[in-house]
Amino acid sequence: MPLLTHHDIGTGFPIVLGGSYLWGRDMWAPQIELLSRHYRLILPELPGHDNDLPLSAAFTTPACLAREVGRLLDALGIRQYAVAGLSVGGMWAAELALQRPEQVRSLILMDTYLGAEPEASRQRYFGMLDMIEQLGCIPEAMAEQIVPLFFRPGIATDDPIRMTFRQRLLSWPRERLLNAVVPLGRLIFGRPDRLGALKDLDPETTLILSGEQDLPRPLSEAQQMARVIGCRLQSIPGAGHISTLENPAFTSVQLDAWLRQSLHVAC
């Protein structure tokens, strides 16, 4: 059984897109529409996210996820590629670039943080995960706590993207929650501090994008990572954690422009 499933869309130079915890490939929908015109997009799926795969016991850190993505790319015969990762996707994307610097031509880290999870939020998230494990579901009251974390403050409660995400949380099957989603959450929020390792990334081929109103991954964390790497940081106005959907036009333009520049692709 494969440890990861994936989507393969478009043709051209390969771009690997790593998504957020609790989301599927739809979080990249605007970027897929734009980038698939010029690039081959590889979207690895997290275990239990739009699939029934359990979290492998071999996955204990984001670096383990990165190694499995590397094996997936090897199996696809892909030797050179760019990587853009958001949230946990950014965590393993950075690890992939550290593991395979000769293969990763360009790296975009979005709304992510390679340091350890701050203690207060780590305890809060682990408490939620314990309750989900006990109940075998995400109760409505908890969904009302989780949903606002992914969006800018003040977003309308009837915003279609927000409502769709809320329904996704409430509809998750018990087996997926217990076999993949909960243990993956513990992997993410219990991750080791890898901030210091970022100094080994190439600042010339690394870009950080961060929603100006990201609640779980505030702009200050992105600024800290940019200082360690010595790379460019671009904030995304009007966006929280899922910047790809909250300000899709701005985010897509930034991604496309950076890829053209760093990969030397003609317009």
The DSSP letter of residue 38 is: T
Q: What is the pTM of this model?
A: 0.96
> What is the number of residues in the chain?
267
1: confidence class by pLDDT, cuts 50, 70, 90: low
Q: Kindly report the CA angle at 227 between 222 and 232, in degrees rounded to 5?
A: 70
Question: Chain-wide mean pLDDT for the chain?
Answer: 96
Task: Report the domain count for the chain.
Answer: 1
CATH code of 72's domain: 3.40.50.1820
Strands 13-18 and 206-211: unpaired
**Using one digit for the tens of pLDDT, what is the confidence trace for 93-126?**
999 999 999 999 999 999 999 999 999 999 999 9
Please give the C-alpha separations between residue 109 and each of 1, 63, 76, 101, 127, in angstroms, as whole numbers. 30, 15, 23, 15, 28
pLDDT tens-digit profile of 183-197?
Answer: 999 999 999 999 999
What confidence category does residue 3 fall into, taking pLDDT thresholds of 50, 70 and 90?
Answer: confident
Q: Report the alpha-carbon distance of residue 266 to residue 62 in Å, rounded.
A: 34
Domain that holds residue 104: 5-263
